[in-house]
Amino acid sequence: MKKQAFNPYLPLFEYVPDGEPYVFEDRVYIYGSHDFAGGQMYCPGDYVAWSAPIDDLGNWRYEGVSYRATQDPANAFGKLQLWAPDVAKGADGRYYLYYCLSFYPEISVAVSNHPAGPFEYYGSVTYPAHINNGNVLHEYMPFDPGVLVDDDGKVYLYYGFSPAKKLEVPDRGTLV
């Protein structure tokens, strides 16, 4: 039986900010960072996944922990937070989770055979071989990756970042 969909759509004890909805197969999946009620910082939790049938958005199901912060070799002790992720289905039929660790200079990828996970660490994002010799993409504090898999199978990665130095602000009287 279909239930009326309300906002907030997740239970009140669950905090998944920066939510990204995706339709895979016949369900809508929500991916995002994971906060806790009364928390003193953002994103302290492992990633969790929620899903609902595409024709019954009032019937959300907890899919469980999809990726743990300590699965990333750069965060074996769990001192860094998992910032807002994105998920895309690859040409190989697997699901790729793109994410950033707090204040870490790389974007990482995990992979799963199922859209809800569990995801396993896959590696760091690298440049194509013809750009920067295929080295690991290294930025000052990248965050919130967004991934687009185009109709031709090409994968495009977009993300925010913070500059590595203080930017000079022109005088108020100066036109820029």
Q: Given this model, what pLDDT does residue 49 score?
A: 95
Q: What is the pTM of this model?
A: 0.86
Q: Given this model, what pLDDT does residue 85 score?
A: 95
Q: Is residue 11 predicted with pLDDT exceeding 70? A: yes
Q: Is residue 90 a contact partner of residue 112, using CB atoms and an 8 Å limit?
A: no
Residues 152 and 19: their CA atoms lie apart, in Å, by: 26
DSSP 41-107: SS--SPEEEEEEETT-TT--EEEEEEE-GGGSGGGTT--S-B---EEEE-TTS-EEEEEEBTT-S-E
Measure Cα distances from 118 to 63, 65, 156 in Å.
9, 7, 23
Please report the domains of the chain, with CATH numbers, ordered by start residue. 20-161 (2.115.10.20)
Query: pLDDT digit string (tens) for 93-119?
Result: 999 999 999 988 999 999 999 999 999
């990204």: which residue's tokens? Answer: 20
Q: Given this model, what pLDDT does residue 173 score?
A: 47
């809800």: which residue's tokens? Answer: 116
Q: For the chain, how big is the Rg over CA atoms in Å? A: 18
Which amino acid appears at position 132 of this protein?
A: N
Query: Would you place residue 163 in the very low, low, confident or very high pLDDT band (cuts 50, 70, 90)?
Result: low
Residues 14 and 173: their CA atoms lie apart, in Å, by: 48
Pairing of strands 86-89, 61-67: unpaired
Percent of the chain with pLDDT over 90: 50
Query: Would you place residue 1 in the very low, low, confident or very high pLDDT band (cuts 50, 70, 90)?
Result: low
